[in-house]
A and B are shown apart, each in its own frame.
Chain A
């Protein structure tokens, strides 16, 4: 069996150099040029140029252009290999494909340079600017700039296509080093913050240049280090995770406990060494994680596409503000945060029921539109003159006290304390999501998501079950709202724009729907790195382009990886198991076949009874 397998995979042919698919190259090259011009004209290179990644050579602005020929060079030279069909052997031909594609993109950029130099259309195109010109020409002559653009883009296209050609080990080492460098330079502020906390400033002083960014020497050293690391540890991480997955019963439990203790200890200890900005960032990530976990139950498990989720966030926030603030305009009992929280749960639950009851009988698109409306209605109600005597209208409610714990007060000026509060609630929300997911109720939610009509026919009261999902989601969101208000010390209707709902939904989708780990990763990547609707992330420079990137990411994920960044463990485990079982089965069959042939040889032809 193995012989035939190798023979099918070895069925390749060596394509001739001249055998190029020029139409494909032209398409992708054109696309490359289009992307480069688009990114230039929306102002990314100039806007992001201040953030330096590697001191004299690479800024985030340049990176916003350079990835395009690289990725497109990779894509254009990739071949779809059909099962059982002969595949072209990767080689010099593919390199030429990538090179030409990149060069066409570079020509596009060069044309843009000529255009900027000769015409002035800054009126409609704000970024049609001399700054862009000087950036793209490296502050030299136009001719130099044009040639440099074409050469660099062609080179990057070549590098992109060479990914298919080089041996797998080289590919792994280089990509690991590149990803590592990118990560370190992006996380610069976090790393320096952390090293300050540990008293290791000297290390970051060596690593990073004064104006920000890795120095050239340290990036080379780091790349080498990462390359060595990938050789030494290559494959070990993967085998460790598979080993962990194959553990069973008590051992599995023990391994999980250790993992849990380590993660918990990290979460508790790490913030002590972090500065204000990083703690603030983590607290924001936590707040959005809390929201995303709630929405994950509604959308990911029960399949109810709720676009007005921000409503419950607002209800939690306003309830807390009214009950704790001394400046609440109508009713100011100034309760303690702990008592408030109980009332918040009740009110959020009731709101969930009230909004859910009419909405829940609808399906799909109708439901999405109606919830979208309810999300806005709640915000507009808080903003309205009608309810101004109760909620303060556009001025909101200010002077909300922090959380008094007796020995300490949790409030926004001390982000570390807020982080710990958020951590507790996130842990609670993760526990709730996890337990519900593997319960009778969680299974019913999943069944409704899969096929509502059949779920109903299998004895599930779909209306009540969906309402329950709505209510649980509402309660988790209201926790987040309550903490946000206690943290910020005030509440305004404009903190609850529709954008919040959409960003949480993107976090859930990009992370991986119905998957707690996916939601975790999604909130760290999106809120932590890119930033929330108002909260800056690690790449603060992206503020202006955040929505564009969110949108692009969403489209990309829907097309290429609808299961999210972290596909559910079950699926990959299942596939692994399937392969394994298939192997066993194939071996078994081989064995039987051998036996059968031996048997046939013994008895001779025609000795067996014909099969019935």
Chain B
């Protein structure tokens, strides 16, 4: 069986700096894969490359059997890859509901005339968009529905903003979900809850997930496989237990013991 997403020898350079140098990676349908690594390892660049936000210098990105290298970000989203952002980037002056409704842009089609003439197709589509939006928001319990629907996103608490970001990515109806540090800045309770929800994203919604995360407990609890990046190169991959005991990984995170230098 071919992989859902396969990346071959991906190379990305910023000026003279190799952010990613020859990365090979793959995800199969229904997997949850975590990407970990110290700061500056190229994890977010990796996401940016998949979603078309940066242009690779070399290598290929294959999604569902076709190359998506060089496509515009909105085309990539249209094919079924959605992402969240490490530093939450919502549309702050739009309401919670609008944030989710707008994410369905590439799955809907009405333009000027439908809106002006209020055609039946337009009204039906609006209803569907709204229903799907409420369905997606309902995934997070009562936190983002009810009176919250009409609130602008900037009034939300930090944790709710993170949830809304995930909801927004879900609303694009992706097959592959890229989560960039979904629990960063959350307290232990919120983290535990979101960890469960990430599991549900796979079982109930059928998403395949690639996740960048620093919280090792979350990584251990949800991921099937873990890939460790350092300086743009994968230094280890395997199950959490394999990776967490790998001396190279420990070295990348903690540095080399002092006596080895001597």
Contacts and interface: CB of A to CB of B under 8 A. Distances in A.
B105 A457 contact: no
Given A446-B102, A450-B92, A457 B83 contact: yes
Contact of B105 (A435, A444, A571): A444
B112 A468 contact: yes
B102 A458 contact: yes
Nearest to B92: A450
Contacts of B125: 440
A63 interface: no
B53 interface: yes
A577 B53 contact: no
Contacts of A435: 115-116, 118
Contact of A440 (B51, B78, B93, B110): B110
A451 B89 contact: yes
A601 B105 CA distance: 57
A454 interface: yes
Given A432-B116, A435-B116, A439-B122, A460 B110 contact: no
A577 B147 CA distance: 9
Contacts of A444: 102, 105
Contacts of B147: 577, 581
Contact of A457 (B73, B90, B122): B73
Nearest to A458: B103
Contacts of A201: none
B116 A436 contact: yes
Interface string B139-174: 000000001001110010000000000001000100
A307 interface: no
A576 B201 CA distance: 35
Given A436-B112, A468-B112, A571-B152, A458 B118 contact: no
A446 B98 contact: yes
A460 B116 contact: no
Contact of A443 (B83, B101, B151, B155): B101
Given A446-B102, A459-B103, A454 B112 contact: no
B137 interface: no
Nearest to B148: A581
A439 B130 CA distance: 11
B114 A439 contact: yes
A431 B116 CA distance: 8
Contacts of B228: none
Interface string A412-438: 000000000000000000011001101
B59 to A, nearest CB: 21
A404 interface: no
B262 interface: no
A441 B112 contact: yes
Contacts of B93: 446, 450
Given A440-B125, A459-B74, A574-B150, A454 B94 contact: no
A516 to B, nearest CB: 15
A472 B122 CA distance: 19
B111 A459 contact: no
Interface in A323-371: none
Contact of A460 (B74, B89, B101, B151): B74
A456 interface: yes
A468 B105 CA distance: 15
B251 to A, nearest CB: 34
Interface in B68-97: 72-74, 77-78, 82-83, 85, 89-95
A435 B119 CA distance: 12
Contacts of B105: 440, 443-444, 447, 458-460
Chain B's interface size range is 35 or more
Contact of A459 (B95, B114, B118, B172): B172
Contacts of A472: 112
A448 to B, nearest CB: 9
Contacts of B129: 440
B192 interface: no
Contacts of A454: 85, 89-91
Contacts of A439: 110, 114-115, 122, 126
A578 interface: yes
Contacts of B103: 458-459
B74 A443 contact: no
B103 to A, nearest CB: 5
A462 interface: yes
Contact of B78 (A431, A459, A462): A459
Given A435-B115, A440-B125, A456 B72 contact: yes
A296 to B, nearest CB: 15
Contacts of A461: 72, 74
Interface string A157-181: 0000000000000000000000000
Contacts of B94: 443, 446-447, 450
A245 B226 CA distance: 53
A443 B168 CA distance: 14
B53 A453 contact: yes
A440 B91 contact: no
A570 interface: yes
B74 A570 contact: no
A436 B111 CA distance: 9
B250 interface: no
B216 interface: no
Nearest to A431: B116
B2 interface: no
A442 B114 CA distance: 12
A573 to B, nearest CB: 8
Contacts of B74: 456-462
Contacts of A581: 147
B108 interface: yes
A472 B155 CA distance: 32
Nearest to A459: B106
B102 A443 contact: yes
Contacts of B114: 439
Nearest to A456: B73
Contacts of B115: 435-436, 438-442
Contacts of B83: 457
A457 B112 contact: no
Contacts of B95: 570
Nearest to B169: A458
Considering the complex of A and B, which 5 residue pairs feature the smallest CB-CB distances, nearest first? A459-B106, A439-B115, A459-B77, A450-B91, A443-B102
Given A458-B172, A459-B106, 8 more contacts: A435-B115, A439-B110, A440-B115, A443-B101, A446-B98, A453-B53, A459-B103, A574-B152
19 contacts: A435-B115, A436-B112, A438-B115, A440-B110, A440-B115, A440-B129, A443-B105, A444-B102, A446-B91, A446-B94, A446-B102, A447-B94, A454-B91, A459-B77, A460-B106, A570-B152, A571-B152, A577-B151, A578-B151
Interface of A: 431-432, 435-436, 438-444, 446-447, 450-451, 453-462, 468, 472, 570-571, 574, 577-578, 581
